Amino acid sequence: MLLRQTRGQKIFSVFNYALLTLTAVLCLLPLIHVIALSFSDNAAVSGGLVTLWPVRFTWEPYAYVLERSAFWKAFGVTLQRAALGTAVNVLLVILLAYPLSMSGEKLRARTLYVWIFFFTMLFNGGLIPTYILIKEIGIMDTLWALVLPGAVTVFNLILMLNFFRQVPEELEDSAMIDGAGHWRTLWQIYVPISTPAIATITLFCVVGHWNAWFDGLIYMRDAAHYPLQSYLQTIVVKFDFQTMSATDAQRLAQLNDRSVKAAQMVVAAVPILLVYPFLQKYFVSGIKLGSVKG
């Protein structure tokens, strides 16, 4: 900016930085507090001494969590689910968005198709019928029950479809003139230049699968097959003596269940923490192009 800032602008600027910093700190504090709890010893936690820094640092809550094979089992289920589920989601979104981004000229049934998909965003049959269906096609208690019912993510489809529409038409036409069919146009023209959008959608799908919990509780009839968030739901949110075994009880005499909960939450959040900067650089442009069209 070449213009010299006026006095008013300077005041605003100071105020603005202060406000934004304060907000960012407020957003972060609860998370830092929980991390601090997870590294503090029992007496400090129950004495209410922990605020933003671990008091009497200990690895014990993590040792306790990491020793639990059930936690890792659930972690593994979630990893598989996120990998398989995201692959299916993204592939389907690409395959669907391409034809639906065509004009009515090039795909005459486009409007009908769009409504078929859009309608499912507004209307569903409910829990019981879906459950019966899952049972009838024999995927109950398998990974597929967590992947297939939500395979078509309509919201992401809309995002992708809008992104594809911005692909310059000349690119497509020249490819067509070169004799490329729709398949080759899609894979060789559309997909490569849509990396930001695909990365964004991938991020959404990974996060969605990582965070899903309700379907796991419903479709996994053996609790040993729960994905991570379902497993956490049964212990973190509703923690009581009923789900606690004797060894738990004894051990928690030395540990503090708040620290243990905190440790589990931190461990469960770490993978998201890892994926997030990796995909972040595409994210902003992906969002921008997918949703903002003039």
Site for another protein in 188-247 (CB under 8 A): 207, 210-214, 217-218, 220-224, 226, 229, 231-234, 236-238, 240-247
**Of residues 83 and 149, the one with the C-beta less far from another protein:** 149
Least distance from C-beta 59 to another protein, angstroms? Answer: 19
Q: List the structure tokens of 181.
A: 């069919």
**Of residues 84 and 148, the one with the C-beta less far from another protein:** 148
**Residue 57 DSSP label:** B
Q: Of the candidates 189, 258, 263, 282, which one interacts with another protein according to CB under 8 A? A: 258
Please, are residues 55 and 41 in contact by the beta-carbon 8 Å criterion? yes
**Position 106: which residue type?**
K
CA–CA distance, 51 with 35 (Å, rounded to integer)? 10
Taken in order 107, 112, 118, 120, the sign of the CA dihedral is: negative
Residues numbered 106-165 forming contacts with another protein, rule: CB under 8 A? 106-109, 113-114, 116-118, 120-133, 135, 137, 148-152, 158, 161-162, 165
Please, are residues 271 and 207 in contact by the beta-carbon 8 Å criterion? no
Q: Half-sphere exposure of 215 toward its Cβ, with a 13 Å CA cutoff? A: 22
Convert residues 77-116 into a mask of x (bound to another protein by CB under 8 A) and - (unbound): ---------------x--xx-xxx-xx-xxxxx---xx-x
Taken in order 113, 114, 119, 121, the sign of the CA dihedral is: positive
Residues numbered 29-68 forming contacts with another protein, rule: CB under 8 A? 30-31, 33-34, 37, 46, 48, 51, 68
Part in contact with another protein (CB under 8 A); list of ranges 55-63, 79-87, 188-196, 260-268: 260-268
Q: List the structure tokens of 154.
A: 């309509």
